[in-house]
Structure 1
């Protein structure tokens, strides 16, 4: 079997590696030339435990190659970004459209096309329509027929960064086909390495299931974040409050933080809102609560700076990733906070992020300076944004003139 995977990022590359580890010949397509060159050297351009060894062996065995163009294959998997644009958070499907158009010339009878990208409801049907337009001599999967030349399905990832290599294998997997035969074909493909249960459904339900899972998390995080704002005003320790409330046998409140980031939870709920804005009221409100939290954090910093004895007080941001113990900065509220503070306090913002070697352009251009943990802890205002293991391993002591703003409750007394 030969597989063509479009997109070799945080999901596409581990997926490609997993198939290759199980004997499948994988042709990966990527627009980033640095990523292509790195992968073809048997190395990885992202940080994910266990991924490097698998990629190295797959490349050495000739089972994984990266290129900038697709090729003929038995199956195609699309793993490209699906961001949103503008203040109205409209889904941007241009990457999905482009990838579908690029593989269309290579589609042959008997192929299976699978969309993995988290997408608004109806996107898999959109993929099928693009394929049909570009492949008029083939019968592309349709909902109203079980006969087709090309099978089309949706199969979202359900993995946690930092544990992707194990969760790709062990987690249950949703497989939504345009028609039933497409779902079965896609399930056969993932069955090559997935040990979890393969749950077959239709494409629309599959798309909505992925969005629902992340919206559920977003709503629960929003409750915790809103609770932290209320507790601050009422002079209550939110961490103690949550700990006490969670002793109730049917209560499990999450911990608040500086906001919500990542390529899923911070984005996916907007896809539900975009389709049903009049109905998705709780989901939209949760998104607004979580998007507002960085503004509250920045206000805490402003108050600390105003109350500092030094007029040129130094601000240190500890952690930039969107969650602990990874290097992924996508949609990270910590990045947004550091950027905005650097613009407001030029030359006075440093950042300690142990999982990156250099700052992204958005921060370096804003004047943020990357430093180590020891220097960051000496700043006048220390802002803990991510509870990395490197931060969890220490219990620093701060001078009376220093201010600690701990958004994760890690170093609270």
Structure 2
């Protein structure tokens, strides 16, 4: 965990988001000089003050200590380093086609700083072939240097792919302890990347080639997506059959070789909701199960919205109110419990759709953010848990945050509860859906 014998004296991490900043902090914790780069001036200024602009347990302490001790600083422009890590977003565009624009921009930004002996590692989740594409961009930008596709093991610049595989909320544990897969464009590239991550990694760093490493990351998240889709499809079937899906899954999981996941309002996050489409886009003929799983999970938010509409209509009829006078409270916006990450969140999509559909008042409860995203309509209001429970006629649980799981049953007096996570299903007085 020291850089005394390391060839990497300075590491540049490009992209200081949910993965880039923890990675930069991890390297800095090994007493390696780290230059974090981001186009977001607010993020840069916040980090340089020893603070963080995202929510991740354990991260702020490491960032603060690293900044104070001079091992971490942030900037908006790439500066010379021994190794460069690219950790920028890779969304999709059009018909679920991968968008490599952020990777290309990062590549162009670091290219002028390259010198012979540098290592460039792509961490962004990417379609197969993205690392090779990055190498081609660099070769075009720096014809004075040689790259692995040109000179093999004798290249001036080494290039590898190493995807993250951490769970939000546990990043500062799993970043150190989880095994990593490193795929270089040559064996030398792989070995140098392995040495780089060895500065802080406690888990094993397993070597392969770049294309296999890229596919490995996509496979991991596609596997999870398929399993979640099975649980979500079961929830649709059980709803029609008037069966408690959570009880059913608990019973089925007593089988020694069955481990069904829990259903929810859909699938969110930048990885599981996106990565499978990267496989589908490159394998349209053969990726049948993967495509179907994505379609099942992508359709779940609409199913939840339809249930909300039914409950609101039922509430209005029983209370003898116009539908527009029914008050709705949505609990949770993040894509998973106890974080502030809203990327690709089905909860966010559902809450936003409710506010657009419902002509009356809608409130949102999300304990991990301070203001609603701009996309919400003006009649949506962010409220605290207790006041929302006192105010609402219909409540919609979308994320099982710890704050929601500990609400006393006595505080939930509503008859109309749409519980997508099974947290409040035991309440006998509610008309649960």
Q: Which of the five TM-score ranges fits, normalised by the shorter chain?
A: over 0.9
Query: How far 1:145 moved relative to its partner?
Result: 2.4
- How many angstroms apart in 2 are the aligned matches of 1:131 and 1:347? 54
- How many angstroms apart in 1 are the aligned matches of 2:378 and 2:10? 45
Alpha-carbon contact 1:146-1:179 (below 8 Å) kept: yes
The SS at the match of 2:272 is coil
| Equivalent residue, structure 2, for 1:321 | 334
| Equivalent residue, structure 2, for 1:402 | 415
- How many angstroms apart in 2 are the aligned matches of 1:52 and 1:292? 37
Asked if 1:69 corresponds to 2:62, the answer is: no
Query: How far 1:360 moved relative to its partner?
Result: 1.2
- How many angstroms apart in 1 are the aligned matches of 2:380 and 2:208? 47
| Equivalent residue, structure 2, for 1:356 | 369
| Equivalent residue, structure 2, for 1:45 | 53
Residue 210 of structure 2, aligned match among 192, 200, 203: 203
Query: How far 1:140 moved relative to its partner?
Result: 0.8
Query: How far 1:147 moved relative to its partner?
Result: 1.7
Alpha-carbon contact 2:28-2:66 (below 8 Å) kept: yes
Query: How far 1:401 moved relative to its partner?
Result: 5.9
Alpha-carbon contact 1:347-1:368 (below 8 Å) kept: no
- How many angstroms apart in 2 are the aligned matches of 1:144 and 1:200? 20
Query: How far 1:361 moved relative to its partner?
Result: 1.1
Residue 389 of structure 2, aligned match among 360, 377, 383: 377
What TM-score, normalized by structure 2, do the two folds share? 0.93
Residues 138 and 400 of structure 1, relative CA distance in 2, 3 Å threshold: closer
| Equivalent residue, structure 2, for 1:184 | 191
C-alpha deviations, 1:175-214, integer Å up to 9, x for none? Answer: 0001111000000000000010000000000000000000
| Equivalent residue, structure 1, for 2:380 | 368
Task: Give 4+ residue runs of structure 1 displaced > 4 Å after superposition.
Answer: 398-401
C-alpha deviations, 1:205-246, integer Å up to 9, x for none? Answer: 000000000000000000000000000011111111101100
Q: How does 1:86-105 map to 2 (within 5 A)?
A: 86=94, 88-105=95-112
C-alpha deviations, 1:97-120, integer Å up to 9, x for none? Answer: 000011000010000000000000
Alpha-carbon contact 1:23-1:63 (below 8 Å) kept: yes
- How many angstroms apart in 2 are the aligned matches of 1:92 and 1:400? 47
- How many angstroms apart in 1 are the aligned matches of 2:123 and 2:413? 51
| Equivalent residue, structure 1, for 2:357 | 344
Alpha-carbon contact 2:365-2:382 (below 8 Å) kept: yes
Residues 366 and 212 of structure 1, relative CA distance in 2, 3 Å threshold: farther
Moved more, 340-349 or 39-48: 340-349
- How many angstroms apart in 1 are the aligned matches of 2:413 and 2:211? 57
Query: How far 1:399 moved relative to its partner?
Result: 7.2
Query: How far 1:157 moved relative to its partner?
Result: 0.3
Query: How far 1:397 moved relative to its partner?
Result: 3.8
Residue 129 of structure 2, aligned match among 122, 138, 142: 122
Residue 333 of structure 1, aligned match among 309, 326, 346: 346
Asked if 1:295 corresponds to 2:317, the answer is: no
The SS at the match of 2:256 is coil
Residues 143 and 347 of structure 1, relative CA distance in 2, 3 Å threshold: farther
Q: How does 1:147-166 map to 2 (within 5 A)?
A: 147-166=154-173
In structure 2, list runs of 5 or more residues that go unmatched.
1-8, 427-433
Query: How far 1:375 moved relative to its partner?
Result: 2.0
- How many angstroms apart in 2 are the aligned matches of 1:252 and 1:399? 31
- How many angstroms apart in 2 are the aligned matches of 1:366 and 1:76? 43
Query: How far 1:85 moved relative to its partner?
Result: 1.4
| Equivalent residue, structure 1, for 2:280 | 273
| Equivalent residue, structure 2, for 1:285 | 292
What TM-score, normalized by structure 1, do the two folds share? 0.97
Query: How far 1:143 moved relative to its partner?
Result: 8.2
- How many angstroms apart in 1 are the aligned matches of 2:286 and 2:211? 18
| Equivalent residue, structure 1, for 2:429 | none
| Equivalent residue, structure 2, for 1:80 | 88
Residues 116 and 399 of structure 1, relative CA distance in 2, 3 Å threshold: closer
Residues 268 and 253 of structure 1, relative CA distance in 2, 3 Å threshold: same
In structure 1, list runs of 5 or more residues that go unmatched.
none
- How many angstroms apart in 2 are the aligned matches of 1:333 and 1:367? 20
The count of aligned residue pairs is: 411
- How many angstroms apart in 2 are the aligned matches of 1:240 and 1:151? 53
| Equivalent residue, structure 2, for 1:392 | 405
Residue 229 of structure 1, aligned match among 228, 233, 236: 236
C-alpha deviations, 1:47-98, integer Å up to 9, x for none? Answer: 1111101111111111111111101110000000000112x11111000000
